[in-house]
Amino acid sequence: MRAIEMRFGTIYIEELNNREEEERVKLYDSDMNYLDYLPIEYDEDETEQELYDGYLSMFDTFETVEELMDWLVCNYEFVGTKDEMIKYLHEELNWELPSEEYNPLDNEWINKIGNHYLLIEEY
């Protein structure tokens, strides 16, 4: 796994030579939860390594989490701080507030990059 440090937080990407699936590399959020993937497709003009290196260089261009998410394959519904996410989940989606037994942020549709929480849309 390779860490990618960006202005707004860290994400992780599978190493090209140590990936689970031949046709893509997986991305993980700051807590090492699955976030998305980037396709690795055969192209006669570009090697897999060149494509992978191009992806890595793209990460330096993103100024915000929203810019990153707009570039990725998955879609997101909301991005905010921890408090903003809890408020959104409760007020807009009628999720329960956090308690000793329940943490709405501990959910497969919630990812974290740095101090930003993302609500991922279902595919």
pLDDT band (50, 70, 90) for residue 4: very high
What is the residue extent of each domain of the chain? 2-71, 76-120
14: left (phi over 0), alpha (psi -120 to 50) or beta: beta
90 to 81, 97, 104: CA distances (angstroms) = 14, 6, 9
Question: Which range has the worst mean pLDDT, 9-18, 37-46, 59-68, 103-112?
Answer: 37-46
Q: Answer yes or no: are the C-beta atoms of 73 and 123 closer than 8 Å.
A: no
Whether the full predicted model's pTM is greater than 0.75, yes or no, is yes
Task: Give per-residue pLDDT as tens, 99-119.
Answer: 888 899 988 899 999 999 999
